Amino acid sequence: MSYTAPATFTERLRHFDPNLRVRWSNRTHTFHIESKVGRAAEIFALPHDDGAIRRRDGYQLVCEVTAGSRMWCHQQVDEQGTMCGAPLTVPMMEFREVRCAKCRKLGFDGRYVYGYFGWTERLLDHLRWIDPRNTWRDTVVSGNDRANHAADAERERDTLNALTANALEFRAAMTGLTSVYLNDAQRKGNHV
């Protein structure tokens, strides 16, 4: 089995979108087509942890492509990390849902969306159809930016609240005054 995509396909893929890459997944034994959506992060990533590898490198999964028309179910079936391993038939020249009957009997979801295209122009046509270089990446990047800005604003608000509370406590300690809290009627000027 080949663990790298053919050079001719990766060249065409880079020509289509320079932000896309093809990476072999040691966990699922499939090729992952991924798009660069952010800066790399300095995190530790095990060779079989696809999510951590993508976060470390600053990529987002676009789709998975099998290396052939058969694959093995990679559903984790116990706490030790044992994989199901049942053989699955992958649809040719289209992405479709594939179900693992063994996992379904065990009570797991056992559903995957896979397709086998070989390394053909049809796979690039599929990528054009799902449009990873335009709206998809912009949506992901803007979503990440909004989440980062919200987290920054929350940290800033928490810091400002803590500083304000400490300043008020310090002023009360220095002047010997205790904080006075007014009820709603007193705040509105209706003294009781």
% of the chain beyond a pLDDT of 90:
9
Q: Name the band, by pLDDT with cuts 50, 70 and 90, for residue 167.
A: confident
3-state helix, strand, coil in the chain (%, to 5): 45, 20, 40
Burial class (CB in 10 A: 0-12, 13-18, 19+), 56: middle
Closest CA to 121 of 2, 9, 31, 11: 9
Q: 3-state secondary structure string, 24-91?
A: ECCCCCEEEEEEECCCCCCCCCCCCCHHHHHHHHCEEEEEEEECCCEEECCCECCCCCCECCCEEECC
Burial class (CB in 10 A: 0-12, 13-18, 19+), 153: exposed
Domain ranges of the chain: 7-130, 133-177
Q: What is the pLDDT of residues 148-157, one digit of tens each?
A: 888 888 989 9
Q: What is the pLDDT of residues 39-76, one digit of tens each?
A: 877 778 888 888 888 888 889 888 888 888 888 888 87
Closest CA to 101 of 88, 91, 113: 88
Closest CA to 144 of 49, 64, 56, 39: 39
Indicate whether this model's pTM tops 0.85: no
* Alpha carbon 158 to chain centroid, angstroms: 27
Least confident of 63-77, 85-99, 178-192: 178-192
**Rounded Cα gap, residues 10 and 107, in angstroms:** 39
* Alpha carbon 157 to chain centroid, angstroms: 27
